[in-house]
Structure 1
Amino acid sequence: MIHHPVQSMYVAAYPMGAATLLNVCINLFYTEYGFGGKTFLYVIWGFWWVVVVLSCICCWGMIYMESTSQNHTLQSFNASVALPFVPPTVISSTGGALALAMAPIAPGKALLTATISVILLAIGLSFVFMAVTILLLRLIIYGHPPGISVISTILPIGAFAQPGVSVLYIGQNFAALLPVAGSTSPFLGSEAAGKTVYFVCVGIAVVLWAMTTAWLVIGLLAMQTEIRKHAVPFKLPFWGLIFPIGVYATLTINIYRQLDAGFFRVYGAIVATTTLVLWLFVVGRTLALLRGGVIFELPCLEDIDIGQRRLFRRRDIEAVKDKSQPEEKNDVDKHVRKFKLVAQGQAGGSSGLGLAVAKELASQGAHVSIVARDKGRLTAALGEIESCRASEDQVFQSFSHSLFTADESRAALEDVVAKHDGLSPDAIFLCAGKSVPKFFLEYTDEELSEGMDYGYWCQAWTARAATRMMVQQGRKGKIVFVSSLLGMMTIPGYASYAPAKHALRGLADMLRMELLLYNIDVHIFFPPTMYGSAFDEEKKTRPWITSKLEESDDALTPEQATAALLKVGGNFITDLFRASSREAAPRNNWLLDGVYDLIAYISIPFWLSGVDKQVRAHREQHLQYLADKGLLSRS
C-alpha cells in the first residue's frame, strides 16, 4: 500500500480517525459529562502528543515516499495527494479544543498545546496550499477526473475547512490564555495580544471559508458535468463526500458563533442538514449493495493489493537494473540475478499467469526457467520472455514435463538447475491449476481426480523436490504457491477445482512453519478471476448459476495479477476472505488485517445470504437441466 501513488495517501486516515476519537473524549465525555476529571484529561493530553507524532510522520513520510518510491504525473495528480497534509491541521483543531478544556486547571500546558497547534496548522496548511495549486493546474490542463473519481474534486473542501476550524480554536485559546500573569515577554504579557490574535484568526477563518466555498463550486460543477455525460455508479468513493462537507458545515456554524451573522447561521444549517441527508443516503445505498458485494468494487484497488509484504523491495529491483554499481558492493544484484523461476501448471509457464510472472522477472534481470507440457507453447513463451531480457548474461530455459508425479517433478527441477552448476533456485513460483466448471453430478471420476492433480499435486511434488534440494545444499530460498480466491471460499460449479486450492492453502500454512527450520520462505497467492485462454475455456462448461454469481466480478489480466503476486497480495475482496479465514497464518499487516476482518465479519454474512438465495431460486431450473442431461429422472 505504501508504494501505491493513490492508495498510500489514505494512510492519513489513521491519525485523523484517532483525532476524531480524542474530540469525542474532550467535547462529549469530559466537557459535557465531566467524565474522569483531571486525570482523564491528562490521559487525553498524552494520547494527543502520540497522534501529533503520527501526523508529522504521515505528513513528512508521505512526501518522502512520493519522491523516492512512487511514480506521479501531472495527469494522474488528484486531490488525494493532499490527504497526508490534512492530519496536522486536524490534530491542530483537536489541540485547540484540548487547550480550552485545560486552561482552567493547567494554563501553562494549555498554552504549550495551543502553540504546538499553531505550528501544526502552519505546516499542514502550507503543504495544502502547494498541493491544491498543483491540482488546479492539473484541472485546467487535463480537466476533471472521469467517472466515480470526479468525487475527488470535493476533497479540497475538507483540506481548507479543517484549518479554518483550527484557526478559530487558536484564536479563542490565545484570547483566554493571554496575557500570562507575571510574564515579561512583550507578547505573552501584553493585554492586547490575546484579543489581537483572536481578531486575526477570525479573519483568517473567513478567508479559508471563502476558499472552501470556491472549491465547493468547482467540485459541484465538475460532478454535474460528469453526471450529464453518463450515470455515475454508486460505490465506496461516495463516502468521501461526507467529511469535507461536514467540516465545511462545522466551519460555517463556528463563524456564525463568532460573528453573529444571520447569513452564516442559515447557510450553516442548510449545509449541516445537507450533510445529514447525504450521510443517510450513502449509508442506505451502502447497506443495499452490501449483500452482493458490488459496493467493494473500487477504482484502482483491483490493480495492486493494499497491505501485503513484497517479495522484493523497489530498491532491490532497481539494484538489478543499475549496472554501474561495483560488483563487490552489489550483494542484492548478485542474489536477484541468480534468481531462477519454475512456473508450471495446465499451460504452466507457457501462458497466463506463469508467463506474465516469467516476463516480469526477466525484465528485472532474473534467470528464468519455465516448465509446462505443451512444447509448442513453451517455444512461443520463451520468445516472449527473450523480448524482456535485461542483460546478455541472463539464462532463459524451457522444459516439457507433466509434473503429475514425484519423479516427473524431480526430473524437471534437475533439468532446470543443470545450467546453474546444480544450485537450487532462489525462488520457485508454482502456478498450477485447471478449472473445468461443472456441477458435482456431471463430473466424471477422471475429471475429479485430475482436479487434484492439476490444482494440488503438481505444486506439492515440485515444492517437495525443491525443498529437498535447498536443504541438501544449505541454501535459502522462496517457494510461492498459487491458490485462488476459491481457496478461501467457493460457489457452486467448482467441485474439481476448489478442494485442491483449499488443500494447497493447508500445505502452504504448514510448510511456512516447518520450513523455518531451513530458512526457506513460503508464500501463497490467492488471485481472483483472471483473463486468458483458461478463462475462455471455462466459459464453455460453466453452469448458468456459476456465471450468474460471478457476473459482477472484475477479472484481472495476467499482468495485473503478476503485480499483486510479486507482493504476495490479491485484491480487496481477496483480502476480506483472507483476513476472515486467516486461522493460524501470520498477518500481513496487523492493523489492515484487523480492519479487513471487521469488514468481512459484517459483510460476508450478507454476501453469503445473497448467494444462498440465488442458488435456491435456481433449484427448479437446475433440476430440469439435470433431467435434460440424463442425470436425473423426473416423472
Structure 2
Amino acid sequence: MAKALLMAALLLPAAAAFLRSRRDGARVPIIGRHVFISGGSSGIGLAIAKLAAAAGAAKISLLARDAAKLSAARAEILRESKGGVHVAVFSADVRDEGAVRRAVEEAGEIDVLVCNQGVFLPCELEKQAMEEIKFTMDVNVMGCFHLIRAALAGMKSGASEEKPRSIAIVSSQAGQIGVYGYTSYSASKFALRGLAEALHQELIGHNVYISLVFPPDTDTPGLSEELKRRPEMTSVVAGTSSCMTAEGVAKKTLAGIMAARFMVYCNFDGLMMGIATAGVSPQRSWAMALAEIFGSGFMRFIALCTQYYWSKAIAKGHQAKDKRM
C-alpha cells in the first residue's frame, strides 16, 4: 500500500505537467471554415453538417455513394441555413482510394474532416460470408485511411496555433466493447481506436487534433436496416444501452471537435465504458483524467458484473432456441 501511494505521489506531478502541456483550453473554431463529412447524405453525417452550418461554417462538403441522396441533403442544408453556407457534394465510394483523393482535391483545403462513413451487418461469424466481412473492414477502416491520407498533408500545412484543425473519426460503442453478432463490425471499430491513438502521436506539434467518437445505437435509416437482420442475442447485449437521435449524437460530436477532445462520448453509458477502457489513450481534461484514475477500478467491477449478466442471458437464449428447434 505504501509503495502504491509513493508511486502515485511521484506520477501525479508528471501527469499534471503533461496535461498542462496539451493546452487544455485549445479550441477548434467552426466559424468561416471548411467542414468535410463522409457519409454525409443522411443520419449522423447530415445532422453534423446542419449543425456545422448553423455554427457558422463557410463551406460544407459531403461525400457519399448515392448522388440522389447527396443532392437532397445539399438542398436540405441550404434551405435550413437560408443559403448562408456553400455546400459541395461528391459521389464516391470510400473504398476507392483514387475517387476519394479526387474528391478531396476538388473540395479544397479542409479545416475539419469527419470520417463518418460506416456499414454494420450484424451476423454471427460462423454464418457471415467473407465478402460481407471484407466489405465491412474496407468501408469502416480502409475508408478512413483513404480519407485521412488524401487530406492530411493539406490539413497540416494550413493549420496554425490560432486556427487548429481537426480530424474526427466516428467509431461506435461497439468499438469500446465486443458485442455478440458484431464480430466484423466490432473488429472494424476497434481498429479505428488504434488508428486514432497512433495518428494523435504523429500530429503532436502540427496543430491538428484527433477526436474519436463513440455513438450508441442511433435512430437512423441505417439502424432500421440493421435491426431487420440483427441476431436475437445481439439485442440482449446492445439493448442494455440507450438509443440516441442523430441530432443528439451530432451535438456531442461537434462539441467534442470544437473542444479538441480525443475521446468523445455521446451518453452516460459511453462515458462509463470510456473510464473502464481508458488504457493509455490521450487525455487533455483534468476532470476526466482524475475520473479515469480513480474510477477505473470501480468500473472494472461494473464491467465484470455486466459481462456476467450478458453471459447468463446469452446462454439462456441459446437454451430457449434449442428447445424451439
| TM-score class, shorter | 0.7 to 0.9
Residue identity opposite 2:136 in structure 1: G
- Kindly indicate whether residue 135 of structure 2 is the aligned counterpart of residue 436 of structure 1: no
2-structure distance, mates of 1:493, 1:443: 10
2-structure distance, mates of 1:404, 1:337: 31
- Kindly indicate whether residue 314 of structure 2 is the aligned counterpart of residue 615 of structure 1: yes
Unmatched tracts of structure 1, length 5 or more: 1-308, 314-334, 418-423, 629-635
- Kindly indicate whether residue 39 of structure 2 is the aligned counterpart of residue 354 of structure 1: no
- Kindly indicate whether residue 62 of structure 2 is the aligned counterpart of residue 370 of structure 1: yes
Q: For residue 405 of structure 1, report the CA deviation from its aligned partner.
A: 3.0
Q: For residue 517 of structure 1, report the CA deviation from its aligned partner.
A: 4.1
- Kindly indicate whether residue 174 of structure 2 is the aligned counterpart of residue 489 of structure 1: no
2-structure distance, mates of 1:310, 1:562: 22
Q: Deviations over 1:130-180 (max 9, x none)?
A: xxxxxxxxxxxxxxxxxxxxxxxxxxxxxxxxxxxxxxxxxxxxxxxxxxx
Q: Cα distance 1:606–1:377, how it changes in 2: closer, same or farther (>3 A)?
A: same
Give the secondary-structure state (helix, strand or coil) at the position aligned to 2:126: coil
Runs ≥4 residues deviating over 6 A? none
- Kindly indicate whether residue 151 of structure 2 is the aligned counterpart of residue 466 of structure 1: yes
Q: Find the partner of 1:579 among 275, 292, 304.
A: 275
2-structure distance, mates of 1:380, 1:561: 21
Q: Find the partner of 2:137 among 432, 435, 452.
A: 452
Match of 1:410 in 2: 101
Q: Cα distance 1:434–1:376, how it changes in 2: closer, same or farther (>3 A)?
A: same
Match of 1:281 in 2: none
Match of 2:243 in 1: 555
2-structure distance, mates of 1:447, 1:310: 43
2-structure distance, mates of 1:382, 1:439: 37
Match of 2:37 in 1: 343
Structure number with the higher strand fraction is 2
Q: For residue 391 of structure 1, report the CA deviation from its aligned partner.
A: 6.3
Match of 1:593 in 2: 292
1:12-91 equivalence runs, <5 A: none
Q: Deviations over 1:350-404 (max 9, x none)?
A: 1000000000001111121110000111111111111232664x31111101011
- Kindly indicate whether residue 221 of structure 2 is the aligned counterpart of residue 536 of structure 1: no
Residue identity opposite 2:304 in structure 1: P
Q: Deviations over 1:77-117 (max 9, x none)?
A: xxxxxxxxxxxxxxxxxxxxxxxxxxxxxxxxxxxxxxxxx
Q: For residue 337 of structure 1, report the CA deviation from its aligned partner.
A: 3.4
Match of 1:398 in 2: 89
Residue identity opposite 1:442 in structure 2: K
Q: Is the 2:159–2:207 Cα contact (8 Å) retained in structure 1?
A: no
2-structure distance, mates of 1:310, 1:494: 37
If asked which structure has higher relative contact order (CA below 8 Å, sep 6+), I would say 2
1-structure distance, mates of 2:102, 2:141: 18
Residue identity opposite 2:61 in structure 1: S
Q: Find the partner of 1:570 among 259, 266, 270.
A: 266
Give the secondary-structure state (helix, strand or coil) at the position aligned to 2:218: coil
Q: For residue 415 of structure 1, report the CA deviation from its aligned partner.
A: 2.0
Residue identity opposite 2:176 in structure 1: M
Quote the RMSD (CA, aligned, Å).
2.3
2-structure distance, mates of 1:621, 1:442: 20
Q: Is the 2:166–2:209 Cα contact (8 Å) retained in structure 1?
A: yes
Q: Cα distance 1:487–1:461, how it changes in 2: closer, same or farther (>3 A)?
A: same
Match of 1:425 in 2: 110
Structure number with the higher helix fraction is 1
Q: Is the 1:580–1:601 Cα contact (8 Å) retained in structure 2?
A: yes
1:120-131 equivalence runs, <5 A: none
Q: For residue 590 of structure 1, report the CA deviation from its aligned partner.
A: 1.8
Q: Which has the larger radius of gyration?
A: 1
Give the secondary-structure state (helix, strand or coil) at the position aligned to 1:470: helix
Q: Is the 1:575–1:596 Cα contact (8 Å) retained in structure 2?
A: no
Q: Is the 2:159–2:208 Cα contact (8 Å) retained in structure 1?
A: no
2-structure distance, mates of 1:414, 1:426: 13
1:177-576 equivalence runs, <5 A: 336-344=30-38, 348-366=39-57, 367-389=59-81, 392=84, 394-417=85-108, 424-473=109-158, 476-566=164-254, 567=256, 568-576=264-272
Q: Is the 1:365–1:390 Cα contact (8 Å) retained in structure 2?
A: no
Q: Cα distance 1:612–1:311, how it changes in 2: closer, same or farther (>3 A)?
A: farther
Q: How many residues align?
A: 287
1-structure distance, mates of 2:25, 2:63: 24
Residue identity opposite 1:450 in structure 2: F
Q: Deviations over 1:592-616 (max 9, x none)?
A: 3345424412211100111111222
Q: Is the 2:30–2:52 Cα contact (8 Å) retained in structure 1?
A: no
Residue identity opposite 1:368 in structure 2: I
Residue identity opposite 1:343 in structure 2: I
1:145-160 equivalence runs, <5 A: none
User: Structure 2-normalised TM-score?
Assistant: 0.82
* Identity value in percent: 27
2-structure distance, mates of 1:364, 1:311: 18
1-structure distance, mates of 2:77, 2:294: 39
Give the secondary-structure state (helix, strand or coil) at the position aligned to 2:45: helix
Residue identity opposite 1:610 in structure 2: Y
Q: Is the 2:236–2:310 Cα contact (8 Å) retained in structure 1?
A: no
Q: Cα distance 1:618–1:343, how it changes in 2: closer, same or farther (>3 A)?
A: same
Give the secondary-structure state (helix, strand or coil) at the position aligned to 1:398: strand
Q: Cα distance 1:369–1:353, how it changes in 2: closer, same or farther (>3 A)?
A: same
